[in-house]
């Protein structure tokens, strides 16, 4: 029986060739948010990849659902209590 030890999931390597000015920019940005270069790049690349895929997502609905969607888009906004309250509150940046 193998001892139960925590093993890290295997990580693949991705090599990039970039100009030193861009690497320095990335390093400064990563340091400013307290991340390593790798973590900073991975997070930015993951976010860009998700955005690219979500931009191409297709939502398919029936004719009735689409007609209802268009009807709601064309309908005038109906103020409610929450909206009325929001419109009366002075935003923090306007207080002085």
Instruction: Kindly report, residue by residue over 19-71, the tens digit of the pLDDT.
Output: 999 999 999 999 999 999 999 999 999 999 999 999 898 889 999 999 999 99
Q: Is residue 61 situated within a structural domain?
A: yes
pLDDT at residue 47, as a whole number: 97
Q: Is residue 86 situated within a structural domain?
A: yes
Q: Is residue 11 situated within a structural domain?
A: no
Q: Is residue 3 situated within a structural domain?
A: no
d(CA 44, CA 38): 10
Domain around 66: 20-90
pTM of this prediction?
0.54
Q: Is residue 6 situated within a structural domain?
A: no
Which of the four pLDDT bands, split at 50, 70 and 90, describes residue 9?
confident
d(CA 29, CA 26): 5
d(CA 27, CA 40): 9
Q: Is residue 47 situated within a structural domain?
A: yes
Q: Is residue 12 situated within a structural domain?
A: no
Using CA atoms, how far residue 93 sits from 35, 51, 61, 89, in Å, is 30, 31, 42, 12
Q: How many domains does the chain have?
A: 1
């Amino acid at each position: 029986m193998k001892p139960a030890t925590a093993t890290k999931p295997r990580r693949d390597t991705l090599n990039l060739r970039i100009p030193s000015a861009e690497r320095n920019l990335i390093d400064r940005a990563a340091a400013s948010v307290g991340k390593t270069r790798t973590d900073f790049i991975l997070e930015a690349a993951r976010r860009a990849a998700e955005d690219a895929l979500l931009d191409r997502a297709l939502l398919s609905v029936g004719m009735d659902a689409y007609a209802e969607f268009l009807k709601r888009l064309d309908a005038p906004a109906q103020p409610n209590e929450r909206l009325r309250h929001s419109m009366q509150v002075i935003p923090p940046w306007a207080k002085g």
